[in-house]
């Protein structure tokens, strides 16, 4: 015999089924099921969205910077202004931000190439005049605001360290000069230089260089990359030169440097001239030497060796003043423990 409770349950079930059959409920259920099938099954699984032929403007910011670096490097070789402008325009609104990032961190590019790219295409420098003015402190504010005790202590500490380093460097320079360790250009050394260098120095005669520098690499300086601005006697910018790590051997830290890249940039020349200074082992390996020759003429590093780099209006001589190979579980004379180079540049005009 059916009780009242059983009858109530049957009635409730019928009411629920009737509600499920209502058009509004069925339409809503179908809508949700359609969204789920469309997004999850069709959109994500069977037919996912695939981007093709995207312009540089839609790339990630780091890829946009890589794209612009390649455009700058290409322009330094072929000097095609129309192509460079088209590539810059392809970045759209991201061009300015990418240019600023590259100017702040050139990466494998040298700053001279970036400056040349900006100047030739009429791009405003990454640091505008208004930005430079903002970096200049207000003299009135400085006179009104006294530095804190902590700032004074830090300033005194930095000045003391700088003074001690200056005294130490001056002592080293004086000692090595007395020992004859720092040669000057225009004078022959005990080590016989290359034929090319001898002819070049003979042609220069007693003409003094317009700029001259010393730089030393010590093993462990994995970020070694020295660059120098070349300016005339009246302060006019003529170009830049420098030396950096070109190749390493082995694995692990610190890096074992086997060759250096020497470079010269002339503002009046569209191409940056480079040569590669190699260790004895690197220079003796034909495959490695030919591969590095793509970066510039291979030169065997020896004390007294000189490399001559020439552009339209500049001539740079890089001399190996002193060097020492590292020792360890590597081929003999394969990497440098220490190298001291002297760079001097003359004007050809």
Each residue's pLDDT tens digit, 326-346: 988 888 999 999 999 999 999
Structure tokens at 168: 């130490």
User: Which parts of the chain have pLDDT scores under 50?
Assistant: 127-149, 177-199
Q: What is the pLDDT of residue 137?
A: 42
Q: What is the pLDDT of residue 110?
A: 73
CA 155-158-163 angle, 5° bins: 120
Alpha-carbon span 84 to 285, nearest angstrom: 38
pLDDT tens profile 230-287: 998 888 999 999 999 999 998 888 899 999 999 999 998 888 999 999 999 999 999 9
Q: What is the pLDDT of residue 221?
A: 93
Alpha-carbon span 346 to 89, nearest angstrom: 39
* Percentage of the chain modeled with pLDDT above 90: 30
Instruction: Determine the distance from the C-alpha atom of residue 15 to the mean position of all C-alpha atoms in its chain, rounded to a whole number.
Output: 74
- Residue 239 bridge partners (DSSP): 230, 266
Q: What is the pLDDT of residue 28?
A: 72
| Beta carbons of 279 and 313 less than 8 angstroms apart | no
| Beta carbons of 262 and 309 less than 8 angstroms apart | yes
Tell me the pTM: 0.45
- Residue 228 bridge partners (DSSP): 241
| Beta carbons of 292 and 285 less than 8 angstroms apart | no
Q: What is the pLDDT of residue 120?
A: 67
Integer CA distances (angstroms), 170 to 158, 163, 178, 320, in order? 18, 10, 12, 21
Structure tokens at 267: 């503002």
Q: What is the pLDDT of residue 39?
A: 66
| 41 membership: H or E segment, kind and range | none
Determine the 3-state secondary structure of 293 from DSSP. Answer: coil
Determine the 3-state secondary structure of 261 from DSSP. Answer: strand
């Amino acid at each position: 015999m059916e009780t009242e409770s059983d009858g109530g349950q049957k009635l409730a079930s019928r009411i629920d089924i009737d509600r499920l059959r209502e058009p509004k409920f069925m339409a809503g259920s179908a809508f949700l099921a359609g969204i789920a099938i469309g997004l999850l099954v069709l959109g994500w699984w069977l037919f996912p969205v695939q981007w093709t032929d995207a312009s540089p403007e839609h790339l990630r910011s780091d890829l946009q910077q890589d794209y612009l670096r390649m455009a700058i490097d290409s322009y330094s070789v072929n000097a095609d202004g129309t192509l460079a402008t088209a590539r810059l325009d392809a970045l759209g609104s991201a061009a300015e931000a990418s240019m600023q990032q590259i100017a702040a961190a050139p990466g494998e590019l040298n700053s001279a190439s970036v400056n040349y790219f900006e100047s030739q295409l009429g791009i405003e420098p990454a640091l505008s005049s208004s930005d430079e003015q903002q970096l200049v402190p207000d003299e009135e504010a400085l006179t009104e605001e006294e530095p804190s005790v902590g700032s004074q202590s830090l300033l005194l500490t930095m000045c003391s360290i700088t003074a001690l380093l200056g005294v130490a460097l001056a002592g080293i320079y004086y000692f090595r000069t007395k020992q004859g360790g720092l040669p000057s250009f225009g004078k022959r050394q005990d080590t016989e230089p290359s034929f090319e260098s001898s002819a070049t120095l003979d042609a220069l005669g007693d003409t003094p260089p317009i700029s001259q520098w010393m730089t030393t690499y010590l093993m462990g300086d994995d970020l070694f990359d020295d660059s120098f601005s070349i300016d005339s006697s009246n302060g006019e910018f003529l170009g830049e030169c420098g030396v950096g790590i070109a190749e390493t051997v082995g694995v692990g830290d610190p890096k074992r440097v086997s060759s250096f890249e020497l470079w010269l940039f002339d503002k009046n020349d569209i191409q940056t001239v480079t040569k590669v200074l190699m260790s004895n082992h690197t220079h003796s390996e034909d495959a490695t030497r030919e591969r590095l020759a793509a970066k510039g003429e291979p030169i065997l590093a020896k004390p007294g060796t000189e490399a001559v780099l020439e552009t339209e209006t500049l001539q740079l001589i890089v001399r190996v003043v002193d060097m020492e190979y590292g020792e360890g579980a590597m081929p003999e004379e394969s990497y440098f423990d220490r190298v001291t180079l002297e760079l001097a540049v003359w004007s050809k005009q």
